[in-house]
């Protein structure tokens, strides 16, 4: 959901990230990768050069904060240098170790 004011900090105005496994997170960080940190999504450079954080976007929109240098196929994104501008679905799955490492309040919903 889009907010009418730039200064709004309401969680209801921030995009929701849905993983392919059904887990949902709030897109509340400076980058999509920051928002994915509770699930332990890996990144090497955090600057769009290496491509280690590359993932497939199933739906939704992102905006890049800087032009990524890593090669991307159609549908792929680099979470380290973009932000979700709408609710987004990513082809990511929550592993058992990431699930137990997630901190309270960052994951909105995790399927049973």
Q: pLDDT tens digits for 56-77?
A: 999 999 999 999 999 999 999 9
Query: How far lies 14's CA from each of 1, 34, 57, 73, in Å?
Result: 7, 14, 18, 27
CA distance 57 to 1: 18
Q: Taking the model in full, what pTM does it have?
A: 0.74
Q: Is the pLDDT of residue 95 over 50?
A: yes
**Chain position carrying tokens 């050069």:** 49
CA distance 13 to 104: 20
Select the CATH number that applies to the domain covering 11-97 from these four: 3.40.50.1110, 3.40.80.10, 3.40.50.1820, 3.10.20.30.
3.10.20.30
Positive or negative torsion for Cα 42, 47, 48, 51: negative
Can you give the residue ranges of every domain in the chain?
11-97
């Amino acid at each position: 959901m889009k907010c009418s004011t730039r200064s709004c900090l309401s969680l209801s105005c921030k995009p929701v990230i849905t993983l392919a496994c059904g887990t949902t997170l709030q897109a509340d960080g400076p980058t999509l990768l920051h928002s994915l940190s509770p699930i332990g999504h890996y990144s090497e450079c955090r600057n769009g050069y290496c491509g280690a954080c590359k993932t497939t976007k199933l739906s939704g929109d992102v905006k890049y904060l800087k032009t990524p240098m890593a090669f991307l196929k159609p549908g792929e994104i680099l979470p380290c240098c973009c932000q979700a501008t709408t609710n987004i679905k990513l082809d990511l799955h929550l592993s058992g170790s990431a699930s137990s490492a997630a901190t309270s309040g960052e994951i909105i919903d995790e399927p049973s």
